[in-house]
Structure 1
Amino acid sequence: MTGTSLQSTLRLVTDYEIPVVGYGVDSAKWYENEAECCHAIKKSGLDRSQVFFTSKVPPMCMGYDKTKKALEESFAASDIGYIDLMLVHSPYGGKEGRLGTWRAMVEAQQAGKIRSLGVSNYSIAHLEELEAYIKSGGGGQIAVGQYEIHPWCPREDIVEWLRQRNIIVEAYCPLVQATRMEEPSLRSLAQKHGKSPAQILVRWSLQKGYVPLPKSVTDSRIVENSQVFDFVLSEEDMASLQFDEHAPVCWDLVNEVTNQIECPYD
């Protein structure tokens, strides 16, 4: 990650670019903040090309018809010309529902309303189900896989699957919701580099090649989370953050959802 900055980008399989840090608000239809986020984008005065806007198809809208309606509502709420990345929020809905959702997303992409598609919280079984559908003529490409990833929830098997296909890995909860800030190894690295534990965790994600999505409502911490490009973690540093542990702090849908489970939010 030498020479990278907050303005650096990674290239998606769709040939568009995504920022190396998801620096801002996590937007989604389910969070009811699409309109507010896009209002802020318009007020910022930034050119549309300078902002990467992501949204998600919510769990209660799985299946072709529901997703098509949800997408139209997202396009109306955002009203910024196009959505850079649309993710499936979770793998609910059974096989028919999941693939129907993807079909609706592909149609919207072909219509120019979405630039890139991706998934969130999909297990390898769900990813392979989708990959088979795409290869059989379903259309689209998986450009991004979004998961809770941090040293205490590394998901190395899923990361490897995605990387073999040049799919960008987004890491949500990279700060572990501030539940691990007193870990000795993390505190030691923070002291060594003159950085905060949060900055160490963001840097860990960057050096792993992920796109971290740090969130904060505190102005000073938002700025702090961006100041991670002036130091490098050594191989030894990175190794000290390797744990034999699976301790997610958020939705662990990767392990929870099976092909039979229907969405509990209907």
Structure 2
Amino acid sequence: MTGSRGPTDTASSAGTADEPASTDLFDDADERGHFFEHPARAAPVKPAAPAGDEKHYHGHRERLRTRFRDNGDNALADYEILELLLFRLIPRRDTKPVAKALLDRFGTLAGVFGATPALLQEVKGIGESVALDLKLISAVARRTLKSEIRNKTVLASWSSVIQYCHAAMAHEPREQFRILFLDKRNALIADEVQGQGTVDHTPVYPREVVRRALELSATAIILVHNHPSGDPTPSRADIDMTKTIVETARPLGITVHDHIIIGKDGHASLKGLRLM
């Protein structure tokens, strides 16, 4: 059904004898423009403002950079250090909420960098690219620590060994069994993960441990594994397995210097506890 249109009805684009066609059909300079009310023009679409006041967070970024430059990392909280890093990875966003969300989720900076890419991406603001960049930074830090013990007498650099093992294993979600193979000077020959297991168990085969040591011409080894629960207290199985490896290696001239258990907040040494 067709009905008559009221005076304000502008649905037709053709116009009538008494109304001009759409104003797009004549020049605004035409004098007819003085006698007819033009339909309101749509306001120009402005670009959406960036999330979180751009001017504000740009100024915030510069202030953080200045504090870091002038006073070093001790002048910044952990979330601010993480912010500084995220500035480069997420250049067009306020990264303070992202940094705080990462620390809330994973507890510490070590926890953030130790988290898997999949878990990192569960935090709002972290996509696949940023997650992989964080893991790359973690790998650089781990290799830096490893370089501190390579070609050095490991037993004389014990704190560096612990720092490296903690960075490499403390936040692994599954148990991991690692061996540091040493030469006759107790310098590091190789660092190998021999097995990965479940959240509370890793199968270890003493004969395979010794066989690999012989292949590498190692004269000593350090055993290392992690407890994903966070508690580095050795279990009865840890103690028994260590004694079996010691007894298997000794007749072949291979010394087991220690078995270190890594937890999120510390470590345990079976030798230090006199359990081997």
Structure having the higher Rg: 2
TM-score tier, shorter chain, comes to under 0.3
Which protein, 1 or 2, shows the higher relative CO under an 8 Å CA cutoff with sep ≥ 6?
A: 1
TM-score, normalised to structure 2's length? Answer: 0.26
